[in-house]
Structure 1
């Protein structure tokens, strides 16, 4: 190894230039990394909500809505015109409004008081129109911005797509906020634990180069999640910083008795096995994430494994070369140690090591039981609560009430069975209304007598679609209980059925992650 280490140090300027150029190139590639803000895309392909969405995409023209737009002080005719404007926005796949539930001629010629209020009130209430929109995945940023420009500040927009758009802005802001808190703390700790003012800068530059290279090389993936994009740089910094500390600590020890280059070679030899073992242990832990069925695990795991590998290479090759280039600067910026030696404290702890071990074993049991009672949130509502998306969601809720849509797909058989199912669904406490062919039209009216525009909202070649509105939040015990109740009810009538909607997706996410957590913990142990 001496020959390899000496070769790197002999060409230290070339090594330094190579890593700097690589970092610059990778930094320029970061904007081209495709970021996915839709967590539902990471559910297993066989998850029932994923299957439901796929069936709807294949068999129905109108997709499941992922955004709501409320326009105030508007007539029915103006709402129909507004629907056309929203439909023309780039990225809008479909817009559902009252004319999709009630024939357009009837809607424009019949007073609203004579129409079914249980249907009308979901789309038009107190001179406000609520449009349910489907925005193409990956187009949230462009489309939501265009919709905001169209509706102005006084009207409101909410839903998953709007939350995704808001999260894109928050992701960058939150990372910068985290770094603004983390970096000063790290710098203070490094200054206190080193004997040169310049050494903390060497640590941060070495790991920073590795982080930039890791972020830039993400272009090799088709896309990464926004969670990976925001979390991995901070985790990589926190996990791999000690590699650099160990190497330079060894270098400072040997530098008192050896020339700088010789001292660095010895330090590299000494640090190699320790740093490699630490990096390998960390990488194995992150590899365990790949076993998760929820795709975020493999997405984050692969990214962090790659990041740790780059950190290891940067610390063992770039940092030694960079340190020798700054050798004279390190000498000029020497300062006295700020922290005392902790030998007495260490000796004291060794004397009470058995009581401390017993205490740790006692504490670990209640801590393990306590962590099992933790409650997790899987949706975006808590993230966007203070943004315009959160405030707009409150406006819509105040006008139209708390409303959470579920879409049930069942085999297209006979309307009699479908009506019995809808009656049972309507009797479930969380469901405020059910909209289907048999409720919005009539089970006794043959479908050939109904316009194709209305019919296609409820029937495809193989499936019947039933829309349900609940008064629960998107996630939580009440929402998940409602999802389970709907599936239990559908099971009484049909052998196969599929449920879509935000709550259904989060319900699947919760179940998948619960199993994944146990698997990853077992593998990590």
Structure 2
């Protein structure tokens, strides 16, 4: 009996046997996991705010953290009512102000609020923006205005998350249909299509069902992980299925599944390393959405592999008999002409490619990155975007930046700083406690004497003196009572709130009209104080000039604002937070992450390829081709003058390096196997014919998935990822088919000269009988126990573990055979 006919008892075959034997248990676990996923999906919190993922040390992130801790941000919404007259708009303003839950409505007759036969109401609700009552009040506003043509712009609720989820669900349907078509076209039997699809669906379900373990994931990861999981990992199922079909030609069903699974586990695990390696690069990003997405995608790939290794064997046992009955002709054409073309152009294309690399590198550095959504036009507009666009077309869009400064009891310092800020053309107006008008031309932080306060508030002067005396004593300002009391002044807001407390406690008596007026003013002042004054910091809202657009000009002025603020607050920390500073911090983070992702992804893939090919030159050649594809991919936005959201580069470059390089590996590995067995031209023709079905299947699915994401979603970030992924995959396929073959033909000698061998201990347990040659350090039995170094031919039964060296089956010559007879 030859070695190949012996039962396989190594670890992989034993593992494969156990999986196949327990397939019914696996099916039960999958069913339970599916039921569990129905519930666990709702446990996952999705974060829609990209600023959450800024580095904790970034100014914007620290400023936002302080604002969340110290200030109250009330819910708000801009409501535009179209096709109404000025009189109708004024009346509607009064009616809306009376609705329950509305704290304030900003509306006047200026073009800022009435323009082009449309009215814009800036509504502030009574509740913090994270309170569900804001949404309830907003719904009541919409219901009140249901007979009007309205457009609502607000950050309340999860409208973005819900919109993207609906869009992605539609995309998944399209992707599923196209995948079925592609698999039918590239497969050899119809029955293998449901096996591949079910395997993927199980992997997707298991991945979704465990997302709750991460606590919170970004809306980007939540939106595209399932689609990218399919595009990145369907190859694993195809590899296993191809092995099974090959083994099933000579082996019974069960044995074919076991044998193919034993071969597929190490091959698929090895194949996944480059993809995972590319994704690992995102773990090193400062912008934490990179690690968020990397973890989600790596987990998705691992669950896909688990599904292939554990679930697919059972599916093959079910569908295997039908696969034999549903064979069809191969629809994938041979591409021998590409191999012949590669051989003819082998001395020209590498030179052209080298020149192209130089230009591609240059132009990809000119890619017009955008750090905000403003400059980007998405192919699809959702309801919120339509409303925002309508409001922007008819009214001046505000550009708000929050300036957070240390709290100072002397409000005059803040007033002086605000005056200097407003002296700059870049500032439209500001809002701080020191410049909010209370009444009669007095600002909240103006200091008033008792006489001024009595005249403004309509109080008896003697009563005002009593109140001022009580305030001075309560605040340990005794010298003011004894000294020149008539000049003693107190900030208006502090005195007003003090009087309200005294009235509520019954110490100060006023008539009912005065009390009502006082409480109305108190509500407005408390609201202003909650928004603008904290325990340790004050907040000033700076509305920049709408003409100041995103870019260097805006970033320079934010730096100037910091300089101005530090002049008035030299001893404390200054923070800026807003769209402008968000974009500025995104830009600074991207400058570092760009280098980190590029270098780390290349290094990880390079290390994997060094071990795979055991050559220095081969990994470099393969990486150059895919890196070239990445550079060409991100040169396109520069040529078509279309801004690209910066995150598209960080994510897609990692995925493209990790996933698309598999196409190059397939060709390089096959060519290495064939080039010593036949002439190089024939070897390349055979290589491309062998690799084309795999590249066509995987590449088409990746391209379709990316393109659909890029054309059917309304979020600029996700659009950028999809468009770049689809375009990048097409470019990678082109270079792998029409450039890499020439590089391999020319660079073969360089690959050979830089080859090396890695000596390592590989443990193999061999069982054989008959004439067996043993050469090496072994441990086991040879008709008895043996341990040591052997160099012998054994006639008999052996069961040995090879520590180093090899065991090979000897073929007996005819004389020995006749002698034995």
How high is the TM-score relative to the length of structure 2? 0.55
State the partner residue of 2:100: 85
Q: Using the TM superposition, give the Cα deviation of residue 343 of structure 1 relative to its aligned residue in structure 2, in angstroms.
A: 4.9
Deviates more, 1:470-479 or 1:316-325: 470-479
Looking at structure 2, the residues matched to 343 and 378 of structure 1 have their Cα atoms a distance apart, in angstroms, of: 46
State the partner residue of 1:410: 405
> Which of 550, 571, 582 matches 1:476?
550
> Which of 540, 551, 561 matches 1:486?
561
State the partner residue of 1:392: 387
Query: SS of the counterpart of 2:405?
Result: strand
State the partner residue of 1:430: 426
Q: Using the TM superposition, give the Cα deviation of residue 287 of structure 1 relative to its aligned residue in structure 2, in angstroms.
A: 2.4
Q: Using the TM superposition, give the Cα deviation of residue 302 of structure 1 relative to its aligned residue in structure 2, in angstroms.
A: 1.0
State the partner residue of 2:258: 265
Question: Are the equivalent residues in 1 in contact too, given 2:76–2:122 (CA < 8 A)?
Answer: no
State the partner residue of 1:40: 51
Query: SS of the counterpart of 1:302?
Result: helix
State the partner residue of 1:102: none
Q: 1:350 to 1:275 in 2, by over 3 A?
A: farther
**CA deviation map 1:59-81 (0-9, x unaligned):** 33x42766434578455995596
> Which of 73, 93, 96 matches 1:63?
73
Looking at structure 2, the residues matched to 375 and 84 of structure 1 have their Cα atoms a distance apart, in angstroms, of: 46
> Which of 131, 134, 138 matches 2:123?
131
Deviates more, 1:489-498 or 1:221-230: 489-498
**CA deviation map 1:1-23 (0-9, x unaligned):** 11110121223333334334323
State the partner residue of 2:357: 364
Looking at structure 1, the residues matched to 150 and 288 of structure 2 have their Cα atoms a distance apart, in angstroms, of: 36
Q: Which has the larger radius of gyration?
A: 2
**CA deviation map 1:336-368 (0-9, x unaligned):** 111233456436535644543333333233223
Question: Are the equivalent residues in 2 in contact too, given 1:48–1:498 (CA < 8 A)?
Answer: yes
**CA deviation map 1:440-496 (0-9, x unaligned):** 345753553333443625444433332221233897225545434433433444343
Looking at structure 2, the residues matched to 362 and 406 of structure 1 have their Cα atoms a distance apart, in angstroms, of: 46
State the partner residue of 2:589: 512
State the partner residue of 1:285: 278
Higher strand share: 2
Query: SS of the counterpart of 1:309?
Result: helix
Query: SS of the counterpart of 1:293?
Result: coil
Q: 1:231 to 1:139 in 2, by over 3 A?
A: farther
Q: 1:220 to 1:210 in 2, by over 3 A?
A: same
Q: Does 1:300 align with 2:293?
A: yes
State the partner residue of 1:448: 491
State the partner residue of 1:109: none
Deviates more, 1:474-483 or 1:75-84: 75-84
Looking at structure 1, the residues matched to 252 and 175 of structure 2 have their Cα atoms a distance apart, in angstroms, of: 35
Q: Does 1:401 align with 2:393?
A: no
Question: Are the equivalent residues in 1 in contact too, given 2:80–2:119 (CA < 8 A)?
Answer: no
Question: Are the equivalent residues in 2 in contact too, given 1:86–1:147 (CA < 8 A)?
Answer: no
Deviates more, 1:192-201 or 1:136-145: 136-145
Alignment of 1:194-343 (within 5 A): 194-343=187-336
How high is the TM-score relative to the length of structure 1? 0.82
**CA deviation map 1:470-523 (0-9, x unaligned):** 233897225545434433433444343111223323332332233223222221
Structure 1 unaligned regions, length at least 5:
88-94, 100-111
Looking at structure 2, the residues matched to 147 and 70 of structure 1 have their Cα atoms a distance apart, in angstroms, of: 12
Q: 1:465 to 1:241 in 2, by over 3 A?
A: same
Question: Are the equivalent residues in 1 in contact too, given 2:128–2:134 (CA < 8 A)?
Answer: no
Alignment of 1:180-195 (within 5 A): 180-195=173-188
State the partner residue of 2:367: 374
Looking at structure 2, the residues matched to 246 and 217 of structure 1 have their Cα atoms a distance apart, in angstroms, of: 26
Q: 1:449 to 1:429 in 2, by over 3 A?
A: closer
Looking at structure 2, the residues matched to 427 and 310 of structure 1 have their Cα atoms a distance apart, in angstroms, of: 59
Looking at structure 2, the residues matched to 274 and 354 of structure 1 have their Cα atoms a distance apart, in angstroms, of: 34
Looking at structure 2, the residues matched to 64 and 37 of structure 1 have their Cα atoms a distance apart, in angstroms, of: 19
Q: Does 1:12 align with 2:23?
A: yes
State the partner residue of 1:465: 539
Q: 1:36 to 1:66 in 2, by over 3 A?
A: farther
Q: 1:201 to 1:487 in 2, by over 3 A?
A: farther
**CA deviation map 1:122-162 (0-9, x unaligned):** 77999753224575349599556565445545344214336
Question: Are the equivalent residues in 1 in contact too, given 2:26–2:311 (CA < 8 A)?
Answer: yes
**CA deviation map 1:251-310 (0-9, x unaligned):** 222222222222222222222222101222222322222222222112211111111111
Looking at structure 1, the residues matched to 360 and 49 of structure 2 have their Cα atoms a distance apart, in angstroms, of: 33
Alignment of 1:138-153 (within 5 A): 148-149=142-143, 151-152=145-146
Looking at structure 2, the residues matched to 291 and 254 of structure 1 have their Cα atoms a distance apart, in angstroms, of: 42
Looking at structure 1, the residues matched to 302 and 140 of structure 2 have their Cα atoms a distance apart, in angstroms, of: 42
Looking at structure 2, the residues matched to 219 and 504 of structure 1 have their Cα atoms a distance apart, in angstroms, of: 32
Q: Using the TM superposition, give the Cα deviation of residue 395 of structure 1 relative to its aligned residue in structure 2, in angstroms.
A: 4.4
